[in-house]
Amino acid sequence: MRQLKAKDAWFVYVDTPRSRQAYMSAYVLVPDAAAGRLPDRGEITRWFEERAVLPVLRQRLVRVPLDLDHPYWVDDPDYDVGRHLHFHGERGWDESRTMVADISTEPMDERIPLWEMHVIDRVHGVPDTEGPAMLVVMKMHHAMIDGVGSSAVTTTLFGDALPSDVGGPTRRDRVPGSAELVVRALARVPRTVVDTVAAVRRARANWSALEVSRANATYPLPPQGLTATPLDGPVGPRRVLEAEHFSLPEVQEVKARIGGVTVNDLMLTVVGGAMHAYLVEQGHPPSGSLSASAPMSIRATGAGADSNNRFVMMIVDLRTDIADPVARARAVHDAVIGERTRLGVPAEAAVAYVEYMFPGWVFRAVRRIRTWRGTDAGVRRPFNTFVSSVPRDIAEVRVAGTTCVHSFGIGPLDGTGVGHAVGAIGERLGLNTAADPELLTDSRRYSELLRQSYAELRDAARQSVDS
């Protein structure tokens, strides 16, 4: 049994109907030529029973009564893969995407480890796919894993090879009772008080150091003011999902033609172009450049080594004030490099990474006070959208004689009405949109504008080289 670290606990406390804190990855799979058919539910169940053995998948969350202290991870003594598998009948492509969006809004069952697998047996009408396909959706709570960590889980669950080393023998922990957890929490009160006082002092010192550092900064600073748009929030509980896919070889061609940029830079550029075009069409032209929040892994630095979530958030200027797509892509690349440089400065890093979190009851009390005052829902983050990406180290995704032909994901919305996820499987790169339909009122049109924005960038890159 081990207690959650500060950043992991934060994802538990902020999980609300307006902002469910879960990763979701959806995979469209088609039969291999040798199989010639989609697998039945028994074959799918056996596939995951043989692979869902990683320790992180076997640990359930145990919360302290009244959230007097941070929760604990406990190896589930009654672990059963079957409790995590959910099968759904035949559906069309549009209906399937709606179902995935609905799943993203549902709370997870804390009585079992915080992951779910949803399988739609037959999906018809998937773009660029012949015949019926199978859709497999993996949902994992943010407290148990971050984007980089999820890649290792995906490789194990969706690989032909059976796991051989899963971290030692399976333990059968005893789940502590409420009384024991309360006693533990009360015994830790003196330590909690000391830690809280130290954390407050450290935070004040960090912010003071940040002010000094920024006053004399020789490194790039993030956008200092939010360009307000109708998409910024407050966010409600409903979600809508759209998925676009591009040829990865073609995207890499565009990358090579522009030079000195990454695939993620290109996707940030595409998102900025589409958002700007959408707002103009809706009669709300932005008064300035839009910005995006994007994760940056800190695993290489060694920070947060005992946490499940080891990243900080960049605030990237999307440079939507630049009309030329190629010039904008290069400017976005510079903005990303600037953010990476900034977050390498000790004073900036100390503020960016969560090192301490108040116990849940304090967190909830503060939130209730803010709600009572009417200040909670109106909080605006210093960015207009969220763009996540997962490192492309997943060579292939397979399930019981089927192979993934493309994928899409969906993540939490926190303070912004539109989020994006970028990921690649095989030779397809997915760029999907998750949004609050009350804020992004025409998600289909926005999805079309993403494709249009990409085409403009591709064509401009080709013309700039050819000319």
Helix 248-258 vs helix 443-466: crossing angle, to nearest 10: 50
Instruction: Tell me what pLDDT residue 40 has.
Output: 94
pLDDT digits 0-9 by tens, 23-56 = 888 999 999 988 889 999 999 999 999 999 999 9
Per DSSP, the residues of 415-450 read S-SEEEEEEEETTEEEEEEEE-TTTSS-HHHHHHHH
Statement: residue 299 has pLDDT above 70: no
Instruction: Tell me what pLDDT residue 152 has.
Output: 81
Put the strands of the sheet holding 418-425 in their side by side order. 240-247, 428-435, 418-425, 385-389, 291-297, 311-317
In the chain, the amino acid numbered 369 is I
Mean pLDDT, residues 109-121:
95
Determine contact, residues 461/254, Cβ cutoff 8 Å.
yes
Phi, psi of 327 (to 5 degrees): -65, -35
In the chain, the amino acid numbered 371 is T
Statement: residue 298 has pLDDT above 90: no
Statement: residue 408 has pLDDT above 90: no
Task: Say which DSSP state 108 is in.
Answer: P
3-class secondary-structure state, position 16? strand
The structure tokens listed for 94 are: 């549009």
The whole-angstrom separation of Cα 136 and Cα 407 is 9
The whole-angstrom separation of Cα 214 and Cα 220 is 9
The whole-angstrom separation of Cα 89 and Cα 84 is 17
By CB atoms closer than 10 A (0-12, 13-18, 19+), residue 367 is: middle
Tokens 């709600």 — which residue?
A: 371
Per-residue pLDDT band for 459 (boundaries 50, 70, 90) equals: very high
Determine contact, residues 50/82, Cβ cutoff 8 Å.
no
pLDDT digits 0-9 by tens, 212-250 = 999 989 999 988 888 999 998 788 889 999 989 999 999
Mean pLDDT, residues 263-283:
96
Determine contact, residues 145/57, Cβ cutoff 8 Å.
no
The structure tokens listed for 350 are: 């100390």
Mean pLDDT, residues 347-353:
88
Measured between alpha carbons, how far is residue 366 from residues 13, 235, 292, 442, 458 in Å? 12, 19, 27, 35, 48
* Other CB atoms within 10 A of residue 27 CB: 24
- Is there a cis peptide before residue 234, judged by omega within 30 degrees of 0? yes
Determine contact, residues 190/84, Cβ cutoff 8 Å.
no
The whole-angstrom separation of Cα 88 and Cα 46 is 17
Statement: residue 273 has pLDDT above 50: yes
Phi, psi of 358 (to 5 degrees): -60, 150
Instruction: Tell me what pLDDT residue 374 has.
Output: 61
3-class secondary-structure state, position 309? coil
Reference 298, options 233, 343, 332, 334; nearest CA is 343
Statement: residue 393 has pLDDT above 70: no
Determine contact, residues 274/244, Cβ cutoff 8 Å.
no
The whole-angstrom separation of Cα 318 and Cα 368 is 34
The whole-angstrom separation of Cα 278 and Cα 31 is 38
Please state, rounded to an integer, the average pLDDT across all residues of the chain. 88
Instruction: Tell me what pLDDT residue 169 has.
Output: 46
Q: Is the Cα dihedral 449, 453, 455, 456 positive or negative?
A: positive
Task: Say which DSSP state 299 is in.
Answer: G
Instruction: Tell me what pLDDT residue 466 has.
Output: 59
Cβ density class 419-452: b for 16+ within 10 Å, e for less: bbbbbbbeebbbbbbbbbeebbbebeebbbbbee
Q: Give residue 464's Cα distance to chain centre.
A: 34
The strand ranges marked E within 318-427 are: 385-389, 398-399, 402-410, 418-425
